[in-house]
Structure 1
């Protein structure tokens, strides 16, 4: 679910419910136990975020926990380096959908992009998009760039290729590399895509309400975080203070 945000984004114009519906809550740490995943899903239902993003092995668990809550289940494809083969990524995407995922955050082939193999990069994204939407028409596909490893020219090209391939979102990073979401990258990604076709997701090292709002102001539509309670509770406290 995409929450419609006010034309002018600020603490004053946003509500806690609006902020919650911009959040994809990440449960992706490799050491995270099943009990922690279940507890994370319960937290997502409590705070009514847009979605939970879990490891592919946890999709079945998350789908069961979140059934009927209004919180979507997402997972990652080719995570975190993007260097598995296209056939494997397609299989992983379809298996995730069969397990209950409705949002897929796929890592593009970073090495192929940096090698100038643009047709291959576009084709891989399109194959995943086409296969996923054939299986589940409303499936949401986000393409992760890992911006900290790319030049600005490569980021612009990644935006172009993702949009041409039919992706729903372009996304800054996995959160597991050398950097996270920056305001400069978000502005560049927003300027390099058609807002009527492609949305922008900020992810990686977003830990405060203030920075989340900055990301929204820079053009992000979704925000990947793992500290949802701290952000939403802060929002509620500040709104109460303003009342």
Structure 2
């Protein structure tokens, strides 16, 4: 299995420096990861390092809490695309989901998707804060809003991806929407299991370890 092509090599810590981001991009080139996932202030830098390569740039939007206005998220997404991002990883408004304001969730996802056109939209639902019913509801909302992916976690909540969550998300997504498992994926065996359960992308800061432990 070409595990490297499933990996979004990720660095989203608030303390990440330009030098750290440059290193992330060089690692992505060396290991031929699918994408780097970073904050939008570093898109230009990433673009300069990744120029003429196949490595995609994914930028996070409304990160990590998701509670800003829809207009702010739409602006942020458009700005990221204008700067050179290929993909957008947005955080839903979790409080609105908890309040069963599903129209708000669906409309927000749809507006961001419309704003970025053919670029890939991943919707972070932050599974650690949700009931199974809420997970299903928000996956349906993302599907209705024409998102490309649903994604488990920011990595900044109380927990990351779980096998059960990916199974549940796959039930709703079927073959109409892809799944990105992220948060806490630290070994090759776990990574492969997520892919077997239906994830087509993995968000991890342990990508190098995952691909270099192949022989073990």
Question: TM-score range with shorter-chain normalisation?
Answer: over 0.9
Q: Distance in 2 between matches of 1:58 and 1:165?
A: 28
| TM-score, normalised via structure 2 length | 0.98
1:57 partnered with 2:37: no
- Give the length in aligned residue pairs: 216
CA-to-partner distance for each residue in 1:175-203, whole Å, 9 max, x for gaps? Answer: 011000000000000011131x2000000
CA offset at residue 109 of structure 1?
0.7
State TM-score, norm by structure 1. 0.88
Residue 140 of structure 2 is matched in structure 1 by 160
Unaligned segments of structure 2, at least 5 residues: none
Structure 2 CA distance, aligned partners of 1:212 and 1:120? 33
Per-residue displacement from partner, 1:135-179 (whole Å, max 9, x unpaired)? Answer: xx2x00000000000000000001000000000000000001100
Distance 1:194 1:166 in 2: 13
Deviations 1:8-39 (A, max 9, x none): xxxxxx2xxx2000000101111011101001
List per-residue Cα deviations over 1:95-143 (Å, max 9, x = no partner). Answer: 000111010000011000110001111000000000110xxx2x00000
1:147 to 123, 127, 130: 127
Alignment match, 2:20: 36
* Structure of higher CA gyration radius: 1
- Distance in 2, matches of 1:167 and 1:68, equals 27
Is 1:212 matched with 2:196?
A: no
Whether 1:228 aligns to 2:207 is: yes
CA distance in 2, matches of 1:177, 1:203: 11
